[in-house]
Amino acid sequence: MSTATAEAGLTVQTSEGPVRGRVLGDTRSWRGIPYAEPPVAELRLRLPRRARPWSDVLDASGFGPWAPQRIHRLLPGAGPRTPMSEDCLTINVTAPKTPSADPLPVLVFLHGGAFEAGSAAMDLVDGSGITAMGNVLFVSMNYRLGALGFMDFRAYSTPDRPFEANLGLADQVAALEWVQRNIAAFGGDPGNVTLFGQSAGATSALTLMCVPAAAGLFHRAFLQSPAAGVAYSPERTEQWAAEFLGILGVGAGGAAEALSELPAAALVEAAGQLSGKIVPEAQPGARSLAPVVDGTFLPVHPLDAFADGSAQRIPLVLGTMESEGTLFDRFHDVLPTSEARIEKMFALTEPGLRDGVVAAYKGYPHKKQAVELGGDAVFWHPGLQVLQAHSEYAPAWCYRFDYAPRAARLAGLGATHGFDLPAVFGTYGSGAGRALLGLGNRRTTANVGHRFQSALLRFAKSGAPGPMWPKYDTVSRRTKIFDRYDRIELDPRSARRKAWNGYRGYR
């Protein structure tokens, strides 16, 4: 292959300036393209602003820096030398190596990480396999995390130093606006954009379905393990902001200066203490790093928006893992997966529902049932609330991912949170993916992953995940179970579903 052929189509003119990518295997890739101005100095804790134009060709061969965060062992690819910076608002595009004569469907991925960690550069979420297999365009981005992206400091604004809320979500909206302006130049169809994500990324996508500024920027949503109840009132988020400043040792009078001038690392550390230790014990099941129902950018709580039909009425696939809670109980203890936390959660939220819910978990308060209950409280139950409501207004499909490789089963984790990522991305060859296959099951695991990935691709191309996957409704509640052998179940775990009916959490 000649150099000219290999480099064909690698320089693309975007709305801000020309960018030059590179060929990677069977794809063409552009990485680290700024979609907004660096949110630093006077732009820290402010809404994103469109990137300034440039005239020289931008080298788009490498990922941009990760958003400031603490390195966590659950994040494959992160280490002491991982580049991090507040100047992190970059977007990445991967396209098939051979350009298409027709515009291609676009899949936009939002990474997870509890709103405080993660990056589009993680090898576990490499979209080249999706692009090559599906003949689609794959887009990912970094967005602000932690205190810089998901805390509400508006109460400490001054005339000279205003602060705004929902900044991480606003970054995502800015990236989706960039997609609408530019994706056609890369060969994509701006009228066929599927937004998908996992964990906090799925929660973000679900929330964006309720954000007026995001209306029309994407046309389908595929959500893996969203925590649909994780959005809070200004009164609650202001309380957490005050606790955050207390950790920093800063009073209200010095808050604006401290939030503007302290190093990002100090804000990261304080947010980690609040979200990782203080709030999980004080308000089990709540997350201090989360969207705020501010009345403007996010007018109402997402669960209420789905219930009243004001969420975007677009095709939706939503699912959870069979054992969401086990990963957190073992490695990231922030869920209500102990008897003490569960009892406190009900006391603070819905004490009248406590007896009925725990009775549905035979064997509670034994550890296994407590872990199941905690995972269901945060992921499964609110996800069903969304599906129940949305299915009345738009096409909706439900799944549960039950397959776990032998290594995961023997470790006592089962099909837990995040183990669907290598399946949907086809990245079992990554470091984390290889660990899951350390004791075999390679062929079966690959087959399950292929079916899961194929469902995403069919959904992106046609608006439905497959002919053998019926829509969700509130009568039959048909749910696709991904396992060694896939199946459809009617109203799985119906006793638990009925027991949770009416639970509203920390709204």
Cα first-last separation, the chain: 59
For residues 205 and 195, the answer to whether their CB atoms sit within 8 Å is: yes
How do residues 433-456 score in pLDDT, each as one tens digit?
Answer: 677 776 667 899 999 999 999 999
Whole-number CA gyration radius for the chain: 22
- pLDDT of 459 reads 98
Q: Which of 139, 141, 143 is nearest to 193 (CA)?
A: 139
State CA 351 to chain mean position distance.
30
Q: Which positions ≥6 away from 18 have C-beta within 8 Å? A: 11, 12, 56, 57, 58
The helix (H) or strand (E) run that includes residue 268 is: helix 264-273
pTM value surpassing 0.85: yes
Q: Is 199 among the catalytic positions?
A: yes
Q: Which of 111, 323, 417, 430 is catalytic?
A: 417
How do residues 315-343 score in pLDDT, each as one tens digit?
Answer: 999 999 999 999 999 998 999 999 999 99
- pLDDT of 438 reads 63
Please list the helix, strand and coil fractions of the chain in percent, rounded to the nearest 5, in that order.
40, 15, 45
In angstroms, the CA 360 to CA 370 distance is 11
For residues 129 and 422, the answer to whether their CB atoms sit within 8 Å is: no
Q: Which positions ≥6 away from 77 have C-beta within 8 Å? A: 119, 121, 122, 123, 124, 431
Spatial strand order in the sheet of 487-490? 22-24, 27-34, 90-96, 137-141, 104-110, 188-198, 220-224, 316-321, 396-401, 478-482, 487-490
The dihedral through the CA atoms of 82, 83, 86, 88 has a sign that is negative
For 225, 330, 349, 408, the CA distances from 338, given in Å and listed in that order, are 21, 12, 16, 22
Q: pLDDT under 50 in the chain at which residues? A: 1-6
Q: Which of 324, 381, 390, 391 is catalytic?
A: 324
Q: Is 324 among the catalytic positions?
A: yes
Q: Which of 199, 275, 288, 323 is catalytic?
A: 199
| Three-state secondary-structure class, residue 295 | coil
The one-letter amino acid at 19: V
